[in-house]
Structure 1
Amino acid sequence: MAIHGTEGAGMTTVGILGGGQLARMMALAGAPLGLRFLVLDHVPDACAGQCAPMLLGDYSDPAALAQFAERIDVATFDFENVPAEAAQWLTGRVPVFPNPRALATAQDRLAEKTLFRDLGIPVPPFAAVETHAQLCEAVAAIGTPCILKTRRLGYDGKGQFRLKTPADIDAAWAALGPQAASVGLILEGFVAFQRELSVVAVRGRDGEFRAWPLTENWHVDGVLSASLAPAPVDEALRDGALAHARKLAEALDYVGVFALELFCRDGELLANEMAPRVHNSGHWTIEGSETSQFENHLRAVLGLPLGATRPIGHACMLNWIGDLPDATAVLREAGGHWHDYGKSPRPGRKVGHATLRADSRQALADALRRVGEALGRQAQVAPVIARLG
């Protein structure tokens, strides 16, 4: 695969299935590399279309996929619910990274958890559920509290029901049981974790593996609220997390960026889920590391050398959900960076983020305190400031 100025004079076009903010940031990261992009999305106002040409069509439409394949040199995707069948169809026409197997595994929580377990990566107890009777049996075996989830299509806390006691079984089945036949269900033991961590890593076509510093994350209503990197963790915990991520990438012959989300309970790491794409908890890498997750994803899928993942000081990403606050307080900070995704406001929608970067933990805490007070977001920044000490 050549890009302009390397092996040939041609301009490489990267096709992205999905036109959300991840595709948008990918296109922005690829511009300095001289890359062109084509986005396929079924929504005419997908925000990536503001930064790259967009083809309107359904991911499962062979005619749309054929037109897409004819105009690109390599394909990737910006969200994991792209039909794995579409990715598989494209592999007969253009290189597709990550591969369809990785995509299909991440789309099914049961397949994902089973793979983790088979690789020796610790996971909470889990069981497949297809009927009300199986739910009763699984609750009896796993115990409460526990969480009933759809095996497919759930994200950001959607498609889940928490059972506090066995008395919640009927309500859980009423809420998710109708989806058992179409997307499947899985019951997972509830983890009383102290911290939520993620490994954002990248693997190249040649098998080279690199990872950014371990990131600590805070969620509100199932949606990421803030990420801190590097996470203040001991060396053993960091090395264990990176070893899990490397093992997973090699088992899937993965190419590109991915995130492994982990719970930390009493010093033990338990795998929650894998995201086979650039990830919200890696947005801080745009300003906070030598090479961003978006640039390294493109380098990986194109077969180019991977960039360094060294952090530049300390960084915190704040997610903006529903609508954007005033940017002034962030931009006033020396290490403040603003990202508007070009989306219209809507409750629960990710519309942008800000990253604050500083050379010391204390300086980052001070900046977060000022921004939190100016925006009335003290609750959002408080746990990060507490972690920074």
Structure 2
Amino acid sequence: MAELALPLPPGSTIGIIGGGQLGRMLSQAASRLGFDVLILDPEENCPAARVSRGQFVAAYDDPAALTIMGRACDVVTFEFENVPSASIEQLAEGGALVAPGPTALAVAQDRVDEKTFLNAVGAATVDFVAVDTLDDLIAGLETLGTPALLKTRRDGYDGKGQAWVASADEAAEAFAAIGGRPAILEARAAFTRELSIIAARGHDGSVAVYPLGENEHSGGVLRVTTAPAAVDTVTDARAREIATDILDGLDYVGVMGIELFDLGEGRLLVNEIAPRVHNTGHWTQDGCICDQFEQHIRAIAGWPLGPTEAHARVEMTNLLGDEVDQWAGLAAEPNARLHLYGKAEARPGRKMAHVNRVGPLA
């Protein structure tokens, strides 16, 4: 395909690796802006494919499919951070425009690398040690104290691949529980609540930041985000500074989700970053003129970033498993906007939809 200068005009083709709910909502946003979308996902007729122009049914690391996708698309992005970084590197080496780039993906895929990077750009985290062996874990517990949180370095999400260690006597059991894999041990954070911030950066280095959200989890899974969160000006300013430093440090293009521990008095620790649109940003669909999905498409296509001010207060609730069967009642609520993901099977704990309950700004 002939190279197009940025900004990409309507009618250009955007490729999305990953066909779940985030890819689906990205595709819907791209369609509103006049783009065609191609999905790469191993699941035939996946949720995102059903709202897109077409799909490559292939593994995320299929060389032939990636080559064809790179040639067919004017820019390629991804919906989740566990896409093999080698796939993004292949696309970039083949001449495809990829956003975010492989550096951001590689950093976010390894929790030790992630926290090392965050500290390097001035974004504080909990204290941590790398763990490769049981002896490393025992030594780490002596350094950090207990309780401490053991997480796999790679691939964990929604509370998976992690275990709390209350004492050295539990070290062997905890290490076995995560499969004896390379891990990170994190000191416990004395935080009052979890906040998150959604931010975007364009090809030109421009940055747009949404108001903070406050998150509630259950069993390691996000259940509710309320936004804009009630925060003081010092906390708000510090969160925006952290987001900008991270985006600039990665030379990032696209939307990123950043989870924060609020220690009070403007003190924030970064828990983790996600180089993609994020569950805690779903509130923007009904609380902002330009939501996080449109913002991501704007950023990767070289368009001006959209406004991020909130025009409503939103409580976003995830619907897991058979909770989606409540759709009729939720659709009848006058202040509720229901977002269904089009997934065929409602397995326990699976994210099937979310509902945004909209109210006036305080």
What range is the shorter-chain TM-score in? over 0.9
Matches within 5 A, 1:160-175: 160-175=162-177
Matched, 1:357 2:358: yes
Deviation at 1:202, TM superposition (A): 0.5
Q: Deviations over 1:21-72 (max 9, x none)?
A: 0000011111121110000011224211211121111121211111211211
Q: 1:254 aligns with which of 247, 252, 272?
A: 252
Residue 308 of structure 2 is matched in structure 1 by 309
The separation in 2 between residues aligned to 1:165 and 1:125, in whole angstroms, is: 17
> 2:8 touches 2:301 (CA, 8 Å); kept in 1?
no
The residue type paired with residue 274 of structure 1 is: I
Residue 223 of structure 2 is matched in structure 1 by 225
Q: 3-state DSSP class of the match of 2:180? A: helix
The separation in 1 between residues aligned to 2:44 and 2:254, in whole angstroms, is: 27
Residue 61 of structure 2 is matched in structure 1 by 60
Q: 3-state DSSP class of the match of 2:277? A: coil
Deviation at 1:330, TM superposition (A): 3.0
Gaps of 5+ in 1: 362-389
Matched, 1:338 2:338: yes
Residue 99 of structure 2 is matched in structure 1 by 97
> 2:13 touches 2:73 (CA, 8 Å); kept in 1?
yes
Q: 3-state DSSP class of the match of 2:268? A: strand
Aligned length: 354
Q: 3-state DSSP class of the match of 2:56? A: strand
The separation in 1 between residues aligned to 2:136 and 2:319, in whole angstroms, is: 39
Structure-1-length-normalised TM-score: 0.88
Deviation at 1:116, TM superposition (A): 1.1
Alignment root-mean-square deviation, CA: 1.5
Matches within 5 A, 1:1-389: 1=4, 11-52=11-52, 53-92=54-93, 93-179=95-181, 184-267=182-265, 268-323=267-322, 324-343=324-343, 344-361=345-362
Q: 3-state DSSP class of the match of 2:306? A: coil
The separation in 1 between residues aligned to 2:62 and 2:30, in whole angstroms, is: 27
The residue type paired with residue 279 of structure 2 is: N
Q: Provide the identity percentage.
A: 43
The separation in 2 between residues aligned to 1:95 and 1:67, in whole angstroms, is: 13
The residue type paired with residue 300 of structure 1 is: A
Q: 3-state DSSP class of the match of 2:203? A: coil
Deviates more, 1:324-333 or 1:149-158: 324-333
Deviation at 1:219, TM superposition (A): 0.7
Deviation at 1:177, TM superposition (A): 4.7
Deviation at 1:262, TM superposition (A): 0.5
Deviation at 1:146, TM superposition (A): 0.4
Relative CO higher for 1 or 2, CA cutoff 8 Å, sep ≥ 6? 2
> 1:142 touches 1:189 (CA, 8 Å); kept in 2?
yes
The separation in 1 between residues aligned to 2:5 and 2:216, in whole angstroms, is: 40
The residue type paired with residue 209 of structure 1 is: V
The separation in 1 between residues aligned to 2:332 and 2:57, in whole angstroms, is: 39
Q: 3-state DSSP class of the match of 1:46? A: coil
Q: Which has the higher helix share?
A: 1
Deviation at 1:2, TM superposition (A): 6.5
> 1:148 touches 1:162 (CA, 8 Å); kept in 2?
yes
Structure-2-length-normalised TM-score: 0.94
